[in-house]
Amino acid sequence: MIRAFFRNKSICLALGVAVLLLAGGPARAETLKVSQPNQQLYPDPDFASTPLASAPVGAEVTVIRQSGDWYKVEFQGKSGWMHRQAFPQVKAPAKFSLPSLLTGGAVKETTSDEVALAGKGFTPEVEAGYRQKHPEANFALVDKVEAFKVDEGQLRAFIKEGGLKP
């Protein structure tokens, strides 16, 4: 039966056209704006790799492709990888599983993206809401901690000396 189905050239042609239309053509280049401080361009989609460049807030990068939570981008003549956390304005793709759809949902778990974003600090919107709810909080100290910088070479030496694995 399957062989007979594929012998019909008009059906095969229609299926081929449908696949091409659904798959889409080459995507146009997308430009994203970095909106989080201290973002790096990496040679590989891995935070442990040595950064190629820093991208300040407001920098525009051209997306070449995406792989999971990483974007291969062009920035100042360099090609490298930036994590999605640099672009919080970009919504994460919706994640679902068939079992959760059939059973009515799963327990909310913290994703690695949420942990990574938490490590980078509040967005201006989240911080404004938190300030309003917690007027007793000392945001001058938060600003001081956020301004603290560690030299990349010193950090790598610390990791190596401590026998830590990046």
pLDDT tens per residue, the chain (166 residues)? 455 544 555 554 455 544 444 444 345 578 999 999 989 999 999 888 899 999 999 999 999 999 888 999 999 999 999 999 898 887 766 555 556 556 655 555 656 655 655 665 557 777 777 778 878 878 777 778 778 888 888 888 888 888 887 6
pLDDT at 22: 46
Q: Which amino acid makes up residue 131?
A: R
- Rounding to the nearest 10 degrees, give the CA dihedral for residues 98, 104, 107, 113: 50
pLDDT at 124: 73
Residues in contact with 110: Cβ distance below 8 Å, sequence separation at least 6, in sequence order? none
Rounded Cα distance between 101 and 103, Å, is 6
Overall domain count for the chain:
1
Domain membership of residue 73 (yes or no) is yes
Contact present, 75 and 41 (Cβ < 8 Å): yes
Domain membership of residue 103 (yes or no) is no
Domain membership of residue 21 (yes or no) is no
pLDDT at 52: 93
Q: What is the CATH number of the domain that holds 54?
A: 2.30.30.40
Residues in contact with 137: Cβ distance below 8 Å, sequence separation at least 6, in sequence order? 130, 131
Q: Which amino acid makes up residue 154?
A: Q
Domain membership of residue 42 (yes or no) is yes
pLDDT at 58: 93
> Which domain covers residue 86, as residue numbers?
26-93
Domain membership of residue 37 (yes or no) is yes
pLDDT at 54: 92
Domain membership of residue 127 (yes or no) is no
Domain membership of residue 66 (yes or no) is yes
Domain membership of residue 71 (yes or no) is yes
Whole-prediction pTM: 0.44
pLDDT at 109: 60
DSSP state at residue 137 = S
